[in-house]
Amino acid sequence: MTIQPASPPAASGLAPEMLIPAPAETAAPLAPARSPTALALRRGLHHGGFLIGAGILGLIVLAALAAPLIAPHDPYAQDVSRRLIPPVWHAKGSWEHVLGTDKLGRDYLSRLIYGSQISLLIGLSAALISGIIGTTLGILAGYFGGRVDALVSYVVTTRLAMPVVLVALAMASLVGGSLKVVVLVLGLLLWDRFAVVTRAATRQVRGQDFVAAAQASGFGTARILVQEILPNIMNALIVVATLEMAHAILLEAALSFLGLGVQPPLPSWGLMIAEGKQYMFFQPWVITIPGVALLVLVLAINLLGDGVRDITAPEGRH
Amino acid sequence: MTEPVVRIENLTLALPKGADRPHAVEGLSLDLMPGRILCVVGESGSGKSMSAYALTGLLPRALKVAGGRITFEGRDLLGLDERAWRGLRGRRIAMIFQEPMTALNPVMRIGDQIAEMFEAHGLLTPAERRARAVALAREVGLPDPEQIVRAYPHQLSGGQRQRAMIAMALALEPSVLVADEPTTALDVTTQAQILKLIRELQQRRGMSVLFITHDFGVVADIADHVAVLQRGKLVESGPARAVLENPQAPYTRALLAAVPSLTPPERPPVAANPVALSVAGLGKTYTTRGGLFGKPRVVAAVREVAFDLRRGETLGIVGESGSGKSTTARLAIRLVEPDRGTVRLGTLDFTALGPAALRAERRRIQMIFQDPFASLNPRRTVEQIITAGPIAHGTPARQARARARELLDLVGLQPSAAERYPNAFSGGQRQRIGIARALAMEPDVLVADEAVSALDVSVQAQVLRLLEDLKQRLGIAMLFITHDLRVAATICDRIAVMHRGAIVEEGPTAALFAAPEHPYTRSLLAAAPGSGSVLARPHPIPA
Flag if A6 and B376 touch (Cβ within 8 Å).
Answer: no
Flag if A219 and B377 touch (Cβ within 8 Å).
Answer: no
Q: Identify which of A171, A163, A195 has the alpha carbon closest to the alpha carbon of residue A260.
A: A171
Residue A5 lies in a domain: no
Confidence of residue B293 (pLDDT cuts 50, 70, 90): low
Q: Identify which of B377, B376, B368 has the alpha carbon closest to the alpha carbon of residue B466.
A: B368
Comparing alpha-carbon positions, the chain B residue that sits nearest to A9 is B541
φ, ψ dihedrals at B527, nearest 5°: -85, -15
Report yes or no: A110 and A153 within 8 Å, Cβ to Cβ: no
Rounded CA-CA distance A178/A263 in Å is: 6
Q: Give Cβ neighbours of residue A295 (< 8 Å, ≥ 6 apart).
A: none
Residue A172: the pLDDT is 81
Amino acid at B13: L
Confidence of residue A27 (pLDDT cuts 50, 70, 90): very low
- E strands, B347-389, in order: 348-349, 365-368
Q: What is the mean pLDDT of residues A187-216?
A: 90
Q: What's the gap in Å between the CA of B266 and the closest CA on chain A?
A: 11
Residue A316: the pLDDT is 42
ipTM: 0.76
All residues of chain A having their beta carbon less than 8 Å from the beta carbon of residue B381 are: 33, 35
3 state DSSP class of B479 = strand
Q: Identify which of B330, B361, B368 has the alpha carbon closest to the alpha carbon of residue B347.
A: B361
Check pLDDT > 50 for residue A9. no
Q: What's the gap in Å between the CA of A226 and the closest CA on chain B?
A: 12
Residue B225: the pLDDT is 92
Report yes or no: A196 and A236 within 8 Å, Cβ to Cβ: no
Flag if A36 and B378 touch (Cβ within 8 Å).
Answer: yes
φ, ψ dihedrals at B315, nearest 5°: -105, 125
Give tens-digit pLDDT for B451-506: 888 888 888 888 888 888 888 888 899 999 998 888 888 889 999 999 988 999 99
Domains and CATH numbers, chain B: 275-536 (3.40.50.300)
- A177 vs A121: which has the higher pLDDT: A121
Question: β-strand B340-345 against B225-230: which pairing, if any?
Answer: unpaired
Q: Give Cβ neighbours of residue A154 (< 8 Å, ≥ 6 apart).
A: none
All residues of chain B having their beta carbon less than 8 Å from the beta carbon of residue A46 are: none
How many independent structural domains does chain A possess? 1
Check pLDDT > 80 for residue B447. yes
φ, ψ dihedrals at B225, nearest 5°: -125, 155
CATH number at residue A182: 1.10.3720.10
Q: What's the gap in Å between the CA of B130 and the closest CA on chain A?
A: 39
- B406 vs A3: which has the higher pLDDT: B406
C-alpha distances in Å from residue A10, one per residue of A14, A178, A282, B257, B490: 8, 76, 91, 14, 12
Containing structural domain, residue A114: 63-313
Confidence of residue B536 (pLDDT cuts 50, 70, 90): low
All residues of chain A having their beta carbon less than 8 Å from the beta carbon of residue B428 are: 25-26
Flag if B543 and A216 touch (Cβ within 8 Å).
Answer: no
Check pLDDT > 60 for residue B98. yes
Q: Identify which of A253, A160, A243, A237 has the alpha carbon closest to the alpha carbon of residue A199.
A: A237
Check pLDDT > 70 for residue B294. no
Report yes or no: B341 and B423 within 8 Å, Cβ to Cβ: no
Flag if B459 and A1 touch (Cβ within 8 Å).
Answer: yes
Residue A7 lies in a domain: no
Residue A53 lies in a domain: no
Give tens-digit pLDDT for A232-288: 888 889 889 988 988 888 888 888 888 887 888 888 888 888 888 888 788 888 888
All residues of chain B having their beta carbon less than 8 Å from the beta carbon of residue A22 are: 412-414
Instruction: Tell me the longest C-alpha to C-alpha distance in chain B.
Output: 77
All residues of chain A having their beta carbon less than 8 Å from the beta carbon of residue B335 are: 212, 215-216
Rounded CA-CA distance B100/B269 in Å is: 44
Check pLDDT > 50 for residue A159. yes
Give tens-digit pLDDT for B321-345: 888 888 899 999 998 889 999 999 9
Residue A22: the pLDDT is 37
Q: Identify which of B67, B57, B56, B85 has the alpha carbon closest to the alpha carbon of residue B22.
A: B67
Check pLDDT > 80 for residue A124. yes
Residue A23 lies in a domain: no
Test mutation, A26, A41, A223, chain B, max B CBs within 10 A: A26
Rounded CA-CA distance B100/B185 in Å is: 8
DSSP symbol at B214: S
Flag if B414 and A6 touch (Cβ within 8 Å).
Answer: no
Check pLDDT > 80 for residue B410. yes
**Percentage of chain A exceeding pLDDT 70:** 88
Residue B1: the pLDDT is 55
**Percentage of chain A exceeding pLDDT 90:** 20
From A10, A21, A35, residue closest to B468, measured CB to CB:
A10
Residue A29 lies in a domain: no
Confidence of residue A18 (pLDDT cuts 50, 70, 90): very low
Confidence of residue A19 (pLDDT cuts 50, 70, 90): very low
Residue A175 lies in a domain: yes
DSSP symbol at B468: H
Residue B38: the pLDDT is 92
Computed over every residue of chain B, the mean pLDDT equals 86
Q: Is the peptide bond before A265 cis (omega within 30 degrees of 0)?
A: yes
Residue A318 lies in a domain: no
Residue A134 lies in a domain: yes
CB atoms within 10 A of CB A230: 17
φ, ψ dihedrals at B316, nearest 5°: -90, 135
DSSP symbol at B352: G
Q: What is the mean pLDDT of residues A57-73?
A: 87
